[in-house]
Structure 1
Amino acid sequence: MNLSDQLTWTAKNHLRKTAYIFQGEEKTYQELEGAVTKFASSLKQLGYGKGDHIALVVGNTPHFVISLYGALRIGATVIPINPIYTPDEISYIINNGDVKGVITLDVILEKFEHMEKLIPNVKHYIVGETNPELEFSESPLSSKLKSFTQIVQEGSIELERPNLNDEDTAVVLYTSGTTGKPKGAMLTHKNLFSNAKDVADYLQIGPSDKVIAALPMFHVFCLTVALNAPLMNGGTVLIMPKFSPAEVFKEAKKHQITVFAGVPTMYNYLLQQPDGDVSAFESMRLCISGGAAMPVALLENFEKKFNVKISEGYGLSEASPVTCFNPLDRERKAGSIGQSIINVENKVVDEFGEEVPVGEVGELAVRGPNVMKGYYKLPVETQATLKDGWLYTGDMARMDEEGYFYIVDRKKDLILVGGYNVYPREVEEVLYDHQQVAEVAVIGVPDPDAGEAVVAFVVLKEGEQASEDELFTYSSQRLAKYKVPSKIEFLDELPKNTTGKILRRALKDVVRN
């Protein structure tokens, strides 16, 4: 089974059930299934087939859903790309990913017009219309342009589907590495299907659920948890073009949303929203957090205010992405990423790959049907990451006696102060507990005496004040001397990527400058 075939099965069993809602318009599973099949047949007519690479450069719109499932239906490999990337970033992925066709939106097309010569191998641009007044006739790409609407309208509902193997590459996700160029994680049909099914089953997502897709769909967290998992079992997806705290409250209340998935930064914004409507979350049965470690203080304050449980989990692009979740049917442990989900194994290992004793810190390794088959055209990097069937995540973790895992920090973010290990998260947790602090990020910087020094970047709550000395004293009372920040800098906001992850490398640039 694969995602596209599963959608067909779901549509047969939930024909008139709402599959998605976008800007007030609802589409049933029957309508979605029809659009996907027609889109797939038109792609085939254009000369696309099994193994061809198609890039999705669209935001959170129905175009993404129809394109993804339509391309998969003919056996094409989908490469989702962040629409706000620069031309250099987009052209690198398109060229490195051997992309033959691009699906985008009219409001983004100008970006491709400027990079036409950088990506000469692209045969077609299928353009989703969002602005009826835009004219394409004079575009330098006019000979390659196709209307998304026409592609769907002119497609046939009769489609001969290719035989797809579980190990065929379905999606290539380019990961934003901390150094060098991004790497394309090859996820198979089996990877994506198994993780969507296991997540849906683990979180008990069913036909009665309405899930907000406010995270970017090109990111694997949203792709699996807020899109593929609900569509797996007949749930409804509310597609939000972008995250807005005010809009989340409004839509959650209007549509009686039951599941919200977000990164810790999003929960912080919702918590800090001055006019946040607590009643909007009355129908919410579950909130899911991932993408980064959630500070315990933030988790507890959010749950107290909105009277809803947050199940923190863990995943990474290379694992489709989910490997752990806090269980719904037994104890949830604040600060933990939970236990291994069904069909997935996690373990904590030392530098030799040997499992460390319970409670000790090591690198988290993952094994299961969700683990990628490798990095696209990077055999050396693949060999360094996949060892004896295990995916080495690069995250430092520990496991307790009951099999709950705790992410300590990224292996690369570890700070060495005079030979002592300092994990940024531990320092951040302390500062998050301070009443005036809204956000904090901790990094290590070179130090001539200790090797590295701890530096904290702090964003204060609106209208609040606190001095560096005050936070220094506060930290000193709760942390060993070598863990206390040597410097605390105040910022109006922390640099983040499009999924809300804090960009530590950008903070290192702040220190250098």
Structure 2
Amino acid sequence: MNLSALLQETAKKFSEKPAYYFMGQMSTYAELDDAVQKFASGLEKLGLRQGDHIALLLGNSPHFVISLYGALRLGITVIPVNPIYTADEIGYILKNGDVKAVVALDLAIPLAEKMHSLLPEIKHYIFCETKPDSQIHLEIEKLSVYPKMKSFTNIISSGESSFQGPVLGEEDVAIILYTSGTTGKPKGAMLSHKNLYSNARDVGGYLRINPDDKVVTVLPMFHVFCLTVALNAPLLSGASIVILPKFSPKEVFSLIKDFTATIFAGVPTMYNFLYQYPEGNPADFNSLRLCISGGASLPVALLKNFEKKFNVFISEGYGLSEASPVTCFNPLDRPRKPGSIGTSILRVENKIVDELGQDVPPGHVGELIVRGPNVMKGYYKMPEETAAAIRNGWLHTGDMARMDEEGYFYIVDRKKDLIIVGGYNVYPREVEEVIYNHSDVVEVAVLGVPDPNQGEAVNAYVVSKNPALTKEQVLEYCREHLAKYKVPTTIEFLDELPKNTTGKILRRALKHQLSQKVNH
């Protein structure tokens, strides 16, 4: 089974039900599926075929949804790309990903002109109109890329509702997701139709997503967390998605209230902004039955404060691109454990192993490894990296974790972020959790820095809402709650911490930012 065929089934069952709401527009399932059919047919008329690769440089919009499902229906492999990447970053992915067509907003036309000479393999640039058609043509008809430019609207109008797509194999590659590339060039995780379908099905079942739900889709659609949890799982369940182009606390409060939304999915930074928002009215969240957190560890203090203030339940989960992405969620039918990523979802196995690959006892820290129908086929054109990541059928996540006696997992930290102070292991998250508990702290990131005496030292970078808060006050608080070797050597106050487009705090970007500051 595949996502596009399942959307067809959902459309037959719930034809007149709203599939999505977007900036005053509403589309029924029947209308969405018809647009998907026509887009797939239009792509075929352009000469694209099963197995070709298409890139989506789009934010949250119906364009993304139609392009994704339309390309999949034709058997094309989709490569979602963050549209705010630099030209160099985008160029690398398009070249490495052997892309033949690109779907982007008309705002990206200058980028298409640049790519035209650098990447002659790209045959079509499909632009989604944000400006009047006449204005767009004036802008592009003199460009060298003009013959390759196609209108998204025209692609759909040229397509046929009677389109019959090819037979798709469950092991065929459906999506290639490029990882953020924190350790070098981005790697393309190849996710099959089976990977994506199974994870959407199992997440939807685990979280009991049903046709009565309205899911707030504000996480970036090009990110795997949104793709599965706030797009695929709801649409396969007959739920409605409420699409927000970008995150804004004001808009989230207003949208949840106006649409009586039932599910909100976000990353910890979003929860922090919503919690800190002065005009946030808890009554606006009365319709929510479930909040979902992922993408990074949710500080326990923030989870408890948010739930108390807004009277909602947050289920924290865990995933990674290479696992489509979800492997764990806090269950809805058993006690939720703050600080835990929950238990293994249906059909997915998680376990903790030591450096030799041997199971470690409950309570002990080791590497989290994963096995299931959701695990990727491998990295595109990178057999050595694939062999290093998937060993004996198990995906090695690189995350340090522990499991308790009841099968609940706890992420301790990234393997690469471990700080070793005088031979003692310090996990940044543990220190961050303590500092987050301070009432004046909004955000914190902890890094290890070289130290001539201890090997490494612990540094904390804090965003505070109280200008009068001093470094010594934060250090004193740490001394009360942490072993001596875990207490930061230095506290530095910053106006903000670097984050990616999903709101995840980027320790490596912070480290780079600080090194640049030192060098200058």
Band of TM-score, shorter chain: over 0.9
Corresponding residue of 2:47:
47
Corresponding residue of 1:98:
98
Quick one: distance in 1 between partners of 2:350 and 2:152?
A: 42
AA in 2 matched with 1:439: E
Deviation by residue 1:129-170 (Cα, 9 ceiling, x = unmatched): 112143332333210011000111121011122111111000
Quick one: distance in 2 between partners of 1:408 and 1:281?
A: 31
Question: How big is the shift at 1:108?
Answer: 1.9
Instruction: Say whether residues 1:474 and 2:474 are aligned partners.
Output: no
AA in 2 matched with 1:260: F
Instruction: Say whether residues 1:280 and 2:268 are aligned partners.
Output: no
Question: How big is the shift at 1:509?
Answer: 2.1
- In the TM superposition, what are the counterparts of 1:56-95 in structure 2 within 5 Å? 56-95=56-95
2:271 to 267, 270, 276: 267
Tell me, yes or no, if the aligned pair for 1:399 and 1:405 is still in contact at 8 Å.
yes
Corresponding residue of 1:502:
505
Corresponding residue of 2:431:
427
Quick one: distance in 2 between partners of 1:154 and 1:509?
A: 49
Structure 1 unaligned segments of length 5 or more: list them: none
Corresponding residue of 1:165:
169
Deviation by residue 1:454-496 (Cα, 9 ceiling, x = unmatched): 00000002x5531001101110111111100000110111000
Quick one: distance in 2 between partners of 1:139 and 1:279?
A: 53
Deviation by residue 1:168-196 (Cα, 9 ceiling, x = unmatched): 00000000121210000000000000000
Tell me, yes or no, if the aligned pair for 1:166 and 1:190 is still in contact at 8 Å.
yes
Tell me, yes or no, if the aligned pair for 2:215 and 2:239 is still in contact at 8 Å.
yes
AA in 2 matched with 1:438: V
Quick one: distance in 2 between partners of 1:491 and 1:289?
A: 25
AA in 2 matched with 1:228: N
AA in 1 matched with 2:119: I
Deviation by residue 1:78-124 (Cα, 9 ceiling, x = unmatched): 00000000000000000000000001111122222233222221000
Instruction: Say whether residues 1:307 and 2:315 are aligned partners.
Output: no
2:489 to 486, 489, 495: 486
SS in 1 for 2:136: coil
1:393 to 397, 412, 418: 397
Corresponding residue of 1:24:
24
Quick one: distance in 1 between partners of 2:182 and 2:413?
A: 14
SS in 2 for 1:55: strand
Quick one: distance in 2 between partners of 1:266 and 1:189?
A: 30
SS in 2 for 1:324: strand
The size of the alignment, in residue pairs, is: 512
SS in 2 for 1:228: helix
Deviation by residue 1:53-80 (Cα, 9 ceiling, x = unmatched): 0000111111100000000001000000
Corresponding residue of 2:302:
298
Deviant stretches of 4+, over 4 Å: none
Instruction: Say whether residues 1:317 and 2:321 are aligned partners.
Output: yes
Structure 2 unaligned segments of length 5 or more: list them: none
Instruction: Say whether residues 1:453 and 2:457 are aligned partners.
Output: yes
- In the TM superposition, what are the counterparts of 1:189-204 in structure 2 within 5 Å? 189-204=193-208
SS in 1 for 2:312: coil
SS in 1 for 2:305: helix
1:348 to 352, 357, 360: 352
SS in 2 for 1:134: helix
Quick one: distance in 2 between partners of 1:465 and 1:378?
A: 51
Question: How big is the shift at 1:278?
Answer: 1.4
Corresponding residue of 1:363:
367
- In the TM superposition, what are the counterparts of 1:141-180 in structure 2 within 5 Å? 141-180=145-184
Tell me, yes or no, if the aligned pair for 1:436 and 1:465 is still in contact at 8 Å.
no
Instruction: Say whether residues 1:6 and 2:11 are aligned partners.
Output: no
Deviation by residue 1:317-356 (Cα, 9 ceiling, x = unmatched): 0000000000011100000000000010000000111110
TM-score of the pair, normalised by structure 1: 0.99
Quick one: distance in 1 between partners of 2:434 and 2:368?
A: 24
TM-score of the pair, normalised by structure 2: 0.97
Quick one: distance in 2 between partners of 1:248 and 1:478?
A: 35
AA in 2 matched with 1:449: N
| 481-490 vs 273-282, greater mean Cα deviation | 273-282
Quick one: distance in 1 between partners of 2:114 and 2:208?
A: 46
1:137 to 141, 151, 162: 141
AA in 1 matched with 2:496: E
